Amino acid sequence: MKESKQRLNEQIKISPLRVIGEDGEQLGVLDRDAALRMASEAGLDLVEVASDVRPPVCRMMDFGKFKYRQAKKTHKTKSHEVKLKEVRIRPKTEAHDRDTKIRQAKGFLEAGDKVMVNMLFRGRELAHLDFAQQNMQAFVDQLVEVGVVERGPLREGRRMILLLTPKKKVP
C-alpha cells in the first residue's frame, strides 16, 4: 500500500465500494456516501486499499494511527550502519591516556563500529618501535572481549595502523 496512491474519505470518487470494517469483517458492497457516513459515525477514515479491482476495496480505519504504526515499523527495521572510527595515539602515550583511548575504542566496538588505531611517529620515535608495539599490544589485549583484530598492527611509513572489528554476538 503506497501512501501516494491511497485515497481517503472525500478523495474516493467511485461508487459502489466493497467495504471492510475496522476489525476486518466484510460489510459488503455499499454506496460511496453510505460508506463515508458509516466511517464518520464510527469516527474513522475510509481508506481505499485496492483500487485496481472492481468494485474498489475500502477499509474503515484510523488513518493517522495507521501512518504512525507504518513509520514506527520502518524506523525499527533500520539497521546500524557500520562506520570506521579512528583513535590516534603516539608511541610515548602514557598508560592512563592509553586507557582512556581504549575505553573510547571499546565504546565504538560495542556500538558496532570498526576502530582504526592510528599511531603517528615523529622525529626519532621510529627508533623506538618496541614502545609502539607495547602500546598496540595493550589495545589488543584489553579489547579482546569486544573486538577482533582484522588487520595489523602494520607499519606504513611514519604510522602504525591496527584495525579492529566488533565481535559477532551469539544469541
Q: Model confidence at 131, in pLDDT bands (50, 70, 90)?
A: confident
Residue-averaged pLDDT of the chain: 86
One-letter amino acid of 102: I
Residue 122 domain boundaries: 84-166
> Into how many domains does the chain fold?
2
Whether residue 120 sits in one domain with residue 160: yes
Question: What percent of the chain has pLDDT above 90?
Answer: 32
Do the bridges between strand 26-30 and strand 159-166 make them parallel or antiparallel, or are there none, so unpaired? unpaired
Whether residue 95 sits in one domain with residue 161: yes
In a domain, 134, yes or no: yes
Whether residue 93 sits in one domain with residue 35: no
In a domain, 2, yes or no: no
* Predicted structure pTM score: 0.54
Q: Is the pLDDT of residue 78 over 90?
A: no
Most confident of 24-38, 52-66, 105-119: 105-119
Domain holding 58: CATH number? 3.10.20.80
In a domain, 4, yes or no: no
Whether residue 157 sits in one domain with residue 88: yes
Q: What pLDDT is attached to residue 139?
A: 86
In a domain, 60, yes or no: yes
82-103 pLDDT, tens digit per residue, is: 889 999 998 888 889 989 999 9
In a domain, 13, yes or no: yes
Whether residue 70 sits in one domain with residue 31: yes
Angle at which helices 129-142 and 95-110 pack, to 10 degrees? 40
Q: Where are the beta strands (DSSP E) in 35-90?
A: 45-50, 57-61, 84-89
Q: What pLDDT is attached to residue 2?
A: 46
Q: Coil, strand or helix: which one is 169?
A: coil
Domain holding 133: CATH number? 3.30.110.10
Whether residue 110 sits in one domain with residue 138: yes
